């Protein structure tokens, strides 16, 4: 759940224009690849997804590979940001796509509950069983039926840093959370505050909390808290907040202090580390930080911009908070059979390697050859994602009702922002979080 930033608001207009163009293009038959003579020759599979721009181009390459293999034509339909509304209206209009790439686990569950989804084929389930860590299969399963194949993954446990700041301070990549704070203090001693924190965007703060909680309290409690079976007043939450508060309350660690952090949005926080006038040494967020550092500030990944995995907290396993896009097959699609075949293909390492080569992609599939990733940084992110195996968890705030985990100025976002402003009372913050969660979950 990312709020569009000020800079991206401007580009939203152009994006919309581009989307309109893309829609127009696909409307007049944007079928990719020549119709071959495979087993599915003559059939057309329609795929809907949120991807635009480079991501869409790369995904089309994957679809082309499918065409070459089976002879089925493929059409990609951009769905816009709100997949749920898009698919709902398409089904109502009798024009449902065959396959949808769903970006949130909540939406996938909603689709399944509406009865829109077809169970995936036996073969997909088998491939997924052997190539994906069980957790990925579980997130694609609703009430015991396997509906969604996770094809593209995100890694939200990467701490990005400026190597020259680390060299100046004479520190290396920390291995534990307390090490990281120590590294941060040394960085501050050298004259460069440790962390750029994007406090104006509540979602970055929820990600901080989730990483600490996942490592400190373990995946089981994490799952319970995500479903609100565990109360936020639980001792483990208070402990994680205290741990987070240790960082928040240290003026040396938060660039500019809490006040400035609350006025910093995500793109600015990346600029504070990798921009022309660096004000901090590290910024924590997902693998997409690398994209911003590279795209906006011309940093060479792995050289001017590096990352280390979010370190373990209090001896727990290093956390890997993740997310991803799952492929589902709609019942109302015209070529459901071909759709199922496409998902079978997406389950293969072969399909993932096509996009891996194009860049900007992580696969949860453990058979994907690391050599196929286009650069070292992505390769090591992928390595860390696969190595985490079954301890991966999805972003908790994405799993929560939007009122709690995804609303600007309300719920968890707001309360963690208040906590950043004044981290002195973890207990009180936990109580407030519980009150908001109880309201939003309704249980």
Binding site residues, other proteins, CB under 8 A: 3, 167-171, 186, 188-192, 199-202, 251-252, 259-260, 262-263, 401-403, 406-411, 413-414, 417-418, 421, 440, 442
Query: For residue 439, what are its two tokens?
Result: 């309201």
Which residue lies nearer to other proteins by CB, 148 or 406? 406
- Nearest residue (CB) to other proteins, 22 versus 410: 410
Closer residue to other proteins (CB): 38 or 401: 401
CB of 276 to other proteins, least distance (A): 12
What single-letter DSSP state applies at residue 341? H
Minimal distance, residue 200 CB to other proteins, in Å? 6
DSSP letter at 317 equals P
Q: In 263-375, where does DSSP find H-type helix?
A: 266-274, 288-297, 336-346, 349-358
Bridge partner list, 74? 32, 45
How near is the Cβ of 286 to other proteins at its closest, in Å?
19
- We find the least distance from the C-beta atom of residue 281 to other proteins, in angstroms, to be 10
Of 32 and 252, which CB lies nearer to other proteins in the complex structure? 252
Please state, in angstroms and as integers, the Cα–Cα distance from residue 104 to each residue in 77, 250, 327, 366, 437, following that order: 18, 35, 11, 22, 19
Nearer Cβ to other proteins (202/324): 202
- Dihedral sign (CA 321, 322, 323, 328): negative
The minimum distance between CB 218 and other proteins, in angstroms, equals: 29
Through-space distance between the first and last CA atoms of the chain, rounded to whole angstroms:
23
Cβ 19 to other proteins, closest distance in Å? 21
The structure tokens listed for 43 are 């059939």
If the CB atoms of residues 200 and 207 are measured against other proteins, the closer one turns out to be 200
- Residue for token pair 């006025």: 263
* CB-based contacts of 294, cutoff 8 Å, min separation 6: 300, 301, 305
Distance of closest approach, residue 114 Cβ to other proteins, in angstroms = 16
Measured distance CA(133)–CA(137) in Å, rounded = 7
Q: Are 153 and 362 in contact, with CB atoms under 8 Å apart?
A: yes
Residue 71 or 202: the one with the smaller Cβ distance to other proteins is 202
């Amino acid at each position: 759940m990312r709020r569009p930033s000020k800079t991206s608001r401007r580009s939203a207009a152009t994006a919309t224009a581009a989307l309109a163009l893309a829609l127009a293009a696909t409307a007049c038959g944007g079928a990719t690849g020549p119709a071959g003579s495979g087993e599915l020759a003559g059939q057309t599979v329609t795929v809907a997804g949120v991807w635009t721009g480079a991501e869409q181009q790369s995904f089309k390459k994957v679809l082309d590979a499918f065409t070459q293999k089976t002879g089925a034509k493929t059409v990609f339909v951009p769905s816009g940001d709100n997949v749920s509304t898009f698919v709902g209206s398409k089904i109502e209009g009798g024009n449902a796509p065959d396959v949808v790439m769903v970006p949130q686990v909540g939406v996938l569950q909603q689709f399944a509950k509406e009865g829109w989804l077809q169970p995936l084929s036996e073969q997909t389930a088998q491939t997924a069983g052997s190539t994906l860590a069980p957790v990925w299969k579980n997130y694609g399963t609703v009430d015991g039926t396997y509906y969604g194949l996770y094809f593209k993954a995100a890694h939200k446990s990467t701490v990005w840093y400026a190597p020259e700041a680390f060299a100046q301070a004479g520190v290396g990549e920390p291995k534990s959370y307390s090490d990281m704070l120590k590294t941060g203090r040394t960085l501050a001693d050298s004259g460069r505050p440790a962390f750029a924190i994007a406090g104006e965007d509540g979602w970055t703060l929820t990600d901080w909390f989730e990483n600490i909680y996942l490592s400190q309290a373990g995946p089981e409690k994490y799952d319970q808290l995500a479903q609100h079976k565990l109360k936020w007043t639980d001792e483990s939450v208070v402990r994680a907040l205290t741990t987070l508060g240790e960082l928040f309350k240290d003026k040396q660690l938060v660039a500019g202090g809490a006040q400035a952090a609350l006025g910093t949005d995500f793109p600015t926080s990346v600029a504070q580390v990798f921009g022309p006038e660096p004000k901090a040494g590290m910024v924590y967020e997902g693998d997409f930080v690398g994209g911003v550092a590279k795209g906006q500030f011309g940093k060479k990944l792995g050289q001017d911009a590096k990352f280390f995995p979010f370190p373990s907290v209090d001896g727990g396993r290093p956390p890997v908070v993740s997310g991803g896009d799952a492929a589902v097959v709609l019942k109302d699609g015209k070529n459901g059979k071909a759709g199922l075949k496409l998902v079978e293909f997406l389950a293969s390492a072969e399909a993932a390697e096509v996009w891996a080569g194009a860049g900007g992609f992580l696969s949860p599939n453990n058979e994907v050859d690391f050599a196929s990733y286009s650069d070292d940084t992505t390769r090591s992110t992928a390595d860390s994602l696969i190595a985490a195996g079954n301890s991966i968890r999805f972003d908790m705030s994405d799993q929560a009702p939007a009122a709690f985990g995804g609303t600007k100025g309300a719920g968890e976002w707001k309360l963690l922002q208040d906590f950043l402003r004044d981290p002195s009372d973890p207990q009180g913050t936990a109580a407030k979080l519980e009150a908001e969660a109880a309201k939003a979950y309704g249980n």
